Amino acid sequence: MDNPLLEDQPQPAFSRIRPAHVEPAIDTLIADGRRLIERLTASTDEATWESFVQPIEEEDDRLARAWSPVSHLNAVMSSDALRAAYNACLPKLSEYGTEVGHNESLYRGYKQVHDTDALDSAQRKMLANALRDMHLAGVDLPPDAKARFKEINTELSRLASLFEENLLDATHGWHKQLTDEADLAGLPESARELARHFAAERDLEGWVLTLDSPSYLPAMKYAHSAELRRELYAAYTTRASDQGPNAGRWDNTHIIEDLLALRHEQATILGFSHFAQVSLETKMARSTDEVMGFLEDLARRCAPQARRELEELQVFASTHGGPEPLAAWDVPYWSERLRQARHAISDEELKPYFPLDRVLDGMFQIAARLFGVRIAAATGDVDTWHPDVRFYQVTDDNGEPIAQFYLDPFSRQKKRGGAWMDVCTNRLMSARRRQRPIAYLVCNFTPPVNGQPTLLTHDEVQTLFHEFGHGLHHMLTRVDYPAVAGINGVPWDAVELPSQFLENWCWEREALDLFAYHWETDAPLPASLYQRMRSARHFQSAMQTVRQLEFALFDFRLHLEYDPAQGSRLQQILDEVRSELSPIQPPAFNRFAHGFSHIFAGGYAAGYYSYKWAELLSADAFSLFEERGIFDAASGRAFREHILERGGSAEPMELYVAFRGREPSIDALLRQTGIMTASAPTTEASER
């Protein structure tokens, strides 16, 4: 049969891809890859980049281009048939990846080229990474250990997919129908309209609240009913666990235990003490002590202020009829009331100034000023997976095409929650193929309701800029080799630099003047409202930072301290971290870890600290623009040249120093987040 996944087209033929196409395409491409590697490794003595490495890179890219739309569709248009096809391919891809990683002849060929061929710096870095990764894949293990390593890889892939499926099913497997409008007291009209929309989708009367972010977050911040907030909180924080309204139905408990045990076993097979050491082999951080020292130092600086912020919140709630003590489901509600009382500002007041289309236009103008690129909607018919999806062209100042990207902005059923950027195609430039990068940008914003455009909260504006920053990192690369082009090959604790860096422009008046206009009156964001927004920027900043540190320390300790004799000690470690750090302790039924897909189904295992690590880099990078002007052309060009264009082709600290002229300091991060540091002055030891 004709198979669109095997066609060499500029973009995937989404409308023609069917679940029945998936397995045959992947089987074909894996077989082609095996034949090529077998032929090339028959003799590696004369291996060169052109004769040995480049053909394998191009064949790997064929497989990546076929798998990318399948993986993407499984995330944004899930169905039982597609899920089955996707899951059927995971063990095959895992087996093939392990087989390649264990191929000693391939390893010798790469080493031959690395040691003897005349290579440019990006080629040499790519091969150094490949040799390192093959070592971490077990290429030099004895046969019995290789066999076990291969089994573990296959099982880890299966378990991660099952974890994500359970979380998706648990999220969409609960909703709350309300038939009395009084139960919605406090919710803004936009949240009520969305609740009506969700009810209509389900053919139900009244209103429906769900666990998707556009529904859940406003309810937790605005609903006057503490009982309703508690019910929502309980359902959300017990997803895919042994607790809550769907206890045991999609339970990730045993999956978590198996994932951690298998990661630890792999680490010991490779000669490491624990998985945290394996994780750091491909990151900027040089040791587990450095990571723990960084997190604990930041925690010491933030925890006292976080406790003071909670005390202030408790006093405010108590004097306005709130409970004492505050429960976990009370904190978002009373925090929003305190924020409004202190700064006279709310998401609902700001949203009219952030219509999605206007924000997009402003974001593209900012990219043009900083990086000299032009972004416009593609003309003509473009094959997409849903009518909401948009497609854009990225060109240079002279009109030369650079890249393309899809934007899927709205929440819907059968779509994974959250926001992300992913790779559709990588840049690849060789004698046989010239391919520009294409990205997926995915968000879960509220869809247009009753003729009103999508209006974003300021947090959602930051989310959009964040994912666009990742997209620019992928799309503006000038590296010709996919393995180190764009975000590929960038250490995980540096990959968030461009995304967090771009968020800064969401706070600057000069940038906001490009897009913050009232959707009905076209009036710009008033100066008084802007000042209130800025003054509220550091509201509960220590509590927010502590929350991220809680996640990071929990993740790192979970992998650093794993002991097969004791199991994960999942809840024990989480409770210890919370007791030492968090100003408020959640209820016993809370099962946060069961929905922590970043570390159990994503790439952040023993690496969640990367968000804070990269935030330090981004704050320090933005301080250059604070010094010179937020649209300083020379600084923008330098960031593009040294960070965005170079991708993973060099060590990130080398690239950062080339951009900034020095290594980063923690000072800018502490200033930007409004953390008071009198009790913990900056020292050389706190710098990297």
Nearest to 79 by CA among 18, 13, 2: 18
Residue 449 to residues 106, 196, 422, 533, Cα–Cα distance (Å): 55, 10, 28, 26
Nearest to 422 by CA among 81, 17, 64: 64
Q: Write the DSSP string, 122-163.
A: HHHHHHHHHHHHHHHTTTTS-HHHHHHHHHHHHHHHHHHHHH
Query: In this structure, are residues 157 and 90 in contact, taking their beta carbons and an 8 Å threshold?
Result: yes
Query: In this structure, are residues 170 and 250 in contact, taking their beta carbons and an 8 Å threshold?
Result: yes
CA angle 374, 636, 379 (to 5 degrees): 10
Residue 386 to residues 58, 509, 557, Cα–Cα distance (Å): 30, 35, 41
What's the burial of 634, exposed, middle or buried (CB within 10 Å: 0-12/13-18/19+)? exposed
- Verify whether residue 467 is a known catalytic residue: yes
Separation of alpha carbons 409 and 407, rounded Å: 6
Question: What is the H or E stretch that residue 354 is in?
Answer: none
β-pairing verdict for 401-410 and 390-396: antiparallel
One-letter identity of residue 76 = V
Catalytic choice (57, 467, 615, 645): 467
3-state DSSP assignment of residue 592: helix
Nearest to 307 by CA among 585, 13, 617: 585
Where helices occur in 274-329 by DSSP H, the ranges are: 275-280, 288-319
3-state DSSP assignment of residue 470: helix
3-state DSSP assignment of residue 643: helix
Side-chain-side CA neighbours of residue 113 (13 Å): 27
Give 501's contacts (C-beta < 8 A, 6+ positions apart). Answer: 469, 617, 618, 621, 622, 639
Tokens of 627: 């010094």
Where helices occur in 179-252 by DSSP H, the ranges are: 189-201, 213-222, 226-237
Q: Which residues are catalytic?
A: 467
